[in-house]
Structure 1
Amino acid sequence: RPGYAYNISGTTEVLGVLGPEEADAEGLISVDWRGLWHLGGPSQNGADTAAWLAGLLGGKGHIGESIERLLAGPRHPQPLIFLPYLQGERVPYWDPNLRGAFIGLGRKHSPTDLAYAVLEGVACQNRLVLERAEGALGTRVDEIRFGGGAAANPVWAQVKADICGRPIAVGVAKEPGLLGAAIIAWTGLGRFASLEAAQDALVTIARRYEPDPARRPAYNALYALYRQSEAALAPISAALVALQQNTAALPGLAKPASAT
């Protein structure tokens, strides 16, 4: 319904804002759901970035548990910026040549700092899509409904609330897509008078995360640096991708010369 956004966070992210009127925004997908307009779309990166980091640092077993262990350590006061474009990016850039980066690394940073940077980098990408969609729709959402595997992590939910500046609501249903399909089916069969009535009857919120005002100044500054970093590194990413056509002789890639 209008006034809400949703964020499904699995291997990749999907974020959309809902409004009553048609709108377009650069890089976002506009879909008409019979008078309720969706503006947003899928990213190329999400919880898979956390899985990548956990694997890189030797994490074994369940990815969620590995990330929780990383987050349990002490954090350095100087934050890092993480550009989460490990596989290029879809919304809002649609650029397969974007690449990820950690920016600001120092000798005293730890795996915990890297883990927080990954969570915050994905949340910054969420904020970019959210604000672009809100600007086009001329509305400000009251709440973001958060689902998918990453919604089980309370730290990530709070980070998203703080960076996006919107309350995050996590439902009881662990598979919101399946629940949504059931809502559509039951409404179509006449069990409910409308989708809104079905939603009111079947969707239950388990937890809510409110933005922490004390964190807002630091996160606003971090987000501004994130946007600057994106713009500065995009051409370097493209150049690195092009460079791989000429790296066959580099150590680790080159075949050793035959002994004479």
Structure 2
Amino acid sequence: MTATIEITSTENPQIKEARKLQRRRQRYRDRLFLVEGVRLVRDALESGAVIQRLFYAPAMIADNEAAQTLVAQCTAQQVACFACTPDVLNTLTETITPQGIVAVVVMPALALPSPLHFTLILDQVRDPGNAGTLLRTAAAAGVDAVIFGPETVDPYNDKVLRAGMGAHFRLPLRNCPTWSAIQPLLAPEQRCFVAEAGAPLRYDNVDWTQPCALIIGGEAAGASHETTSFAQRVAIPMHSQVESLNAAIAGSIILFEAARQRRTDR
């Protein structure tokens, strides 16, 4: 077992280093990110992710048995654990009501299946709640991998992590800033479909059992113009005067239609 180290100053080097991970550039430089709260720390542990450091506030978890168990498990696994005062720990948190536990986790390097059969691509999805929900839905719907494409929020943004509910640890994902970086990841036989309001092809008339990729565009402008050259447009028919659904809802509807077809096809 490793000994727990006490931290009482926000200027402690360990706290200052961890706080840097609140910035996207630093996360990718170090290949580390912050995980906050009992649920996500437990998901990281149970998935086998590498926890580099654990920060917790004894005063904040005194009545939280689940958090205490996580501290004990990390200590037993030789994770460097730091007991902090609440004001120190709160400099690492982004939530309104923090649970008193934060982990520094190594970015998972889950291998992409070869070949990819069913891929979700987020294109210009800037809202972290939508991105995290789509990632969580993709895991539930049996997607092979999720690609965070051009102009899309960082998958390790704290709000994306919370909305993803642990999907980061269960599903291969890649962060690709350009379409030229995405294309080599797709199998040659994969057909690409992009969700677009008013498209002539209904989403439930597509054969989702074939190797394919679904592209979900952003909330404001939809998918980027580049997708028109290689992706077929599909739409969700709607009643009344509603013009469109938000990205997470539209993506979830299509993903579970694909999951339904794939179950039937077995």
User: What's the TM-score, normalizing by structure 1?
Assistant: 0.24
Identify the structure with the greater helix proportion. 1
User: What's the TM-score, normalizing by structure 2?
Assistant: 0.23
